[in-house]
Amino acid sequence: MKQVIVHPERCVGCMQCMTACATAHSTSKTLIGALLEEPRPAPRIHVGAGLEDEGFPNRCRHCDPAPCQLGCLPGAIYRAKGSNTVMVDYDLCINCASCAMACPYGVIRFAEDPKAPPGKTVAVKCDNCVERQAQGKVPACVETCFAGALTFEEPSEAMKRRTGEVAASISLDAAAHRVPLSASWDLQSEMKRRQKALDQR
């Protein structure tokens, strides 16, 4: 089954996935429309800054077993049948935040949601864009990521590719064969690293 796979080395930190995610979880499904809605839809993916201010798209891993599900007192968190997606039942959720405390990745937030009872704050998290997938679309964050930091594919395919990359990197003359992922991005990242290094002087 296809899953969203994160490739942190390609994240350029543009945060477009966050806007696309919020829009996908709005009623209108358009950015401008979403901005006018009440409640305003919240993103389920969050881009953070690493030690060198490089971007990292932080999203739900849909763990199995899922600590959030184990920690959920009213039993609002469940795994959708026939998929690996961990979901929240907004009617059962009591906004106690036990799931957020249990989550090792900090990807569960609390907000009103168009799909929740009006005025009720609930746990919101990545639902793998079940709605879009039912329409034959890929998750919104993947669709908007032009840098290829988020892909939607069979995990076995991604793992095979990764295995190949790692194997190539330990070949005897790997350095000589190394093709940079992107000369542009390498240059930009190097300059940022040098800037950041000055902070410690």
Partner 1 sequence: MGANGNGHKKGEFSITQDAQAMLVKAERDQVETVWDRFQAQQPSCGFCETGLSCRICAMGPCRIDPFGEGPQKGVCGADADIMVARNLARMIAAGAASHSDHGRDLVETLTAVAEGKAEGYGIADPDKLQALAAEWGVEVEGKDELALAGALAYAMEEDYGMRKKALQYVTRAPAKRQEIWAGLGITPRGIDRETSEMMHRTHMGVDNNWVTILLQGLRNSLADGWGGSMIATDVSDVLFGTPQPHASQANLGVLKEDHVNIAVHGHNPVVSGTVLQSVEKEELVAAAREAGAAGINLVGLCCTGNELLMRAGVPQAGNHLMTELILVTGALDMMIADYQCIMPSLGEVAGCYHTRMISTSDKAQFPRFDHREFHPETAQATADQLVRDAIEAFKNRNPDKVNIPVEPMDQTTGFSIEAILGALGGTPEPLLDAIKDGTIRGAVGVVGCNNPKIKHDYAHVTLMRRLIENDILVVDTGCAAVASAKAGFKNAAAKEWAGPGLRKICDAVGIPPVLHLGSCVDNVRILTLLSALANALGVDISDLPVAGSAPEWYSEKAVAIGAYFVASGVTTHLGPMPPVAGSMNVVGLLTQGLEEHVGATFAVEPDPEKAAVILMKHIEAKRAALGLDSREVGEAADTAAPATPAAPVA
Q: Count Cβ atoms below 10 Å from residue 67 Cβ, excluding itself.
A: 16
> Does the footprint of partner 1 cover residue 54 (CB under 8 A)?
yes
Residue 95 or 169 with smaller CB distance to partner 1:
169
| Size, binding site for partner 1 by CB under 8 A | 34
Q: Is the dihedral of CA 124, 126, 128, 131 positive or negative?
A: positive
> Does the footprint of partner 1 cover residue 3 (CB under 8 A)?
no
Residue 160 or 196 with smaller CB distance to partner 1:
196
Residue 56 or 90 with smaller CB distance to partner 1:
56
Helix (H, G, I), strand (E, B) or coil at 28: coil
Residue type, 13: G
Smallest CA-to-CA distance from 77 within 63, 93, 62 is with 93
Residue type, 38: E
Residue 42 or 47 with smaller CB distance to partner 1:
47
Q: What is the DSSP letter of 149?
A: S
How crowded is the C-beta side of 96, counted as CA atoms within 13 Å? Answer: 15
* Binding residues for partner 1 restricted to 122-181, rule: CB under 8 A: 145-148, 181
Which of these segments, 70-78, 108-116, 167-175, 189-197, binds partner 1 (CB under 8 A)? 189-197
Among 34, 47, 77, 88, binds partner 1 (CB under 8 A): 47
Among 10, 25, 46, 125, binds partner 1 (CB under 8 A): 10
> Does the footprint of partner 1 cover residue 200 (CB under 8 A)?
yes
| CA 30 to the chain's CA centroid | 20
Among 37, 53, 154, 157, binds partner 1 (CB under 8 A): 53
What are the residues whose beta carbons fall under 8 Å from the beta carbon of 2, sequence distance 6 or more?
152, 153, 154
User: Which residues lie near partner 1 (CB under 8 A)?
Assistant: 10-15, 47-50, 53-56, 145-148, 181-185, 187-188, 191-192, 194-195, 197-201
